[in-house]
Structure 1
Amino acid sequence: MLICRTKKEWLNCRDQMEGNGSIALVPTMGALHQGHLQLAKQAKADHDQLVMTIFVNPLQFGEGEDYDHYPRQEEADIEKAKASGVDVLWLPSVDDIYPRDPAVTVRVGKMSERLCGRHRPGHFDGMATVVMKFLQLVRPDAAYFGKKDGQQLAILTRMCEDFHLDVAVVGGETVREEDGLALSSRNVFLSEGERKEAPLLYKTLQKGYERFRQQKESPVKTEREVTAELSERITASIDYVELLTYPSLEPSDENDTDEQLILAAAVRYPQARLIDNVIFERE
């Protein structure tokens, strides 16, 4: 596995990759877990060459969020990336990606006004901006992102379509602990008691989804019932519970054209914010 740290090193490496088959990109912020590694293995199976980036992007953290405390474990990440088949690992510095204050950024419109975007203003603008930079610099045939952040996946898919980028955006299935908790770099910040109850987030979403499908409930009723059940079962504060069309992320009604729906939620513990969702086919 080759390791690049500067933009210059990366561009030299990219020149050497030219003509050696298809290229897949897995962008990450590090603190790699099995979810990232499963994406890497999926990408490697689909393509000849695999590039992974590790970059904690300051542009997608708002005031009071955990940029300074976001887990960083470079040595362990290098070993995990190597073991999962990564061909090139690029660990750029902030100065490499943002050599000066950006005058032009990607602005996400309506798709960022719901779910996490409503509670983290500017987050998806920063995320889309850095992904756009990596897509331009890496020039992959495909880029891989986890479905756990369904809103991020939907936004990036739409961004590539709207900007006519010649890259496939591929979603990887959410990887979970045995008790159902979605893997996340932020899980390390959960206390013992919080960790025990955290799997109830996904279990409650599953229950809400099943009730919505079987009883033909309205989206609003499902949102209210899931919110009420979460409030009773966990100590975290609830940011949102929303049932929307997917991937357009609009309120659902009988005139929708999307073939899928998403039931998503986010909750906050004192040191960790957790998100999860169920994406399912419309009947």
Structure 2
Amino acid sequence: MRVVTTRDELARARGDLGTVGFVPTMGYLHDGHLSLVRAARRANDSVVVSIFVNPTQFDPGEDLDSYPRDLDRDLAMLEAEGVDLVWTPRVEDVYPPGSSTRVTVGGVTDVLEGARRPGHFDGVATVCTILFRAVRPTRAYFGQKDAQQTVVIRRLVRDLALGLEVCVEPIRREPDGLAMSSRNTYLSTAERAVAPVLHRALLAAQEAYAAGHRQASDLLEAAHAVLATEPAVAVEYVSLADPDTLAELDEVDPGRGPLVSLAARLGRTRLIDSLVLAPTAADLRDSSRSSGQNPKICDPREPAPADADLG
């Protein structure tokens, strides 16, 4: 495994690696990151990973300085996974002195996380554009947990014709359902015990949907009822939205699973989670009849079959 820092070093090491699966990270890796590495390994000749805590996606007062870092640990984990090349740039390697260009993806960044973290997705879109141009991947891999981010990245790649495939992999969870995240390390023992309520809230919306409820108000009420059982959880939002446009829905269309997402705080830790509601067998039949074809279910951002493991 080669480890490089500057853009020139990256360009030389990138060379002819064949098809490249790229996993951009901010480090402090966990099995969710490694699942992306494994997916990249299965589909590409080579795997490239970047480790860069991107300052432009942190708002003032957020946890840029305290964000967990352990480069030696990360590199050992990546080497064990057979990664070919790791780029660990400094800030000046990504943003040259005097850099003033920013990339903005409109519309899908105005809601949910974007409404609560102004400028966050400009930072995400800008750094991903830079990383994609430098690494020149065939495919880039992201996790479904940051659901809105995946929508933004897909739109970015499409609109700027960046010439790569965006692959979204299912959320990796702890045994009790908590979505894996580097920020989970911030949780106290008591907070960690409470945190799985976020996943239980999402599953409550799924269960209400499976029971036949199609009104957004019913599904959101089911999620809020579960969250209310834990007074320590400060809910910021629970959303039921179109998985591509992120427009809030009043009612669920048969065969097209909506995105249920939420954000909440436990003490000083802000957590997010999401789930694409799985359609029922009846919904799939109705959708197939109306469209004249069988619905395609192959992308983690699209609905999973009703009997799939939603963890």
TM-score class normalised by the smaller sequence: over 0.9
**C-alpha separation between the residues in 1 aligned to 2:6 and 2:268?**
32
**After superposition, where does 1:155-170 map in structure 2 within 5 Å?**
155-170=152-167
SS of equivalent residue, structure 1 residue 3: strand
SS at structure 1 position matched to 2:174: coil
Moved over 4 A (4+): 253-258
SS at match of 2:56: helix
Between 36-45 and 217-226, report the one with greater CA deviation.
217-226
**1:129 — aligned with what?**
126
Q: Is the 8 A contact 2:201 2:222 kept in 1?
A: no
1:171 partner amino acid: V
Look up the equivalent residue of 1:140 and give its one-letter code.
P
In structure 1, what is the equivalent of residue 6 of structure 2? Answer: 6
1:53 equivalent to 2:50? Answer yes
1:57-115 deviation line (CA, Å, top 9, x unaligned): 00000011000000010110000011112100110000110113432211121111222
The residue that corresponds to 1:268 in the other structure is: 265
Q: How many positions carry a matched residue from both structures? A: 280
CA pair 10-245 structure 1, distance change in 2 beyond 3 A: same
| 2:72 matched residue in structure 1 | 75
Q: Give the distance between the partners of 2:275 and 2:158, measured in 1 at CA.
A: 24
Flag structure 1 segments of 5+ consecutive residues without an equivalent: none
* 2:193 aligned residue (189, 196, 203): 196
Kindly indicate which of the two structures has a greater share of residues assigned to helix.
1
Displacement of 1:213 in angstroms is 3.7
Q: CA deviation at 1:253?
A: 5.0
- The alignment-based identity, stated in percent, is 39
Distance 1:257 1:199, change over 3 A: closer
Tell me how far apart the structure 2 counterparts of residues 156 and 258 of structure 1 sit (CA, whole Å).
24
Task: Give the match for residue 175 of structure 1.
Answer: 172
Letter in 2 for 1:276: D
Native 8 Å contact 1:247 1:258 kept in 2: no
Tell me, yes or no, if the aligned pair for 1:208 and 1:226 is still in contact at 8 Å.
yes
Who is 1:207 aligned against? 204
Q: Which runs of 5+ in 2 are unaligned?
A: 284-311
TM-score (norm: length of structure 1): 0.94
Matched with 2:295 is none
1:90 aligns with 2:84: no
CA contact (8 A) 1:245 1:256 kept: no
How big is each residue's C-alpha offset from its partner over 1:94-152, in whole Å with a ceiling of 9 and x where there is no partner? 01101134322111211112221111111111011100101111110000000011110
Letter in 2 for 1:98: Y
2:30, 2:66 → 1: CA distance? 17
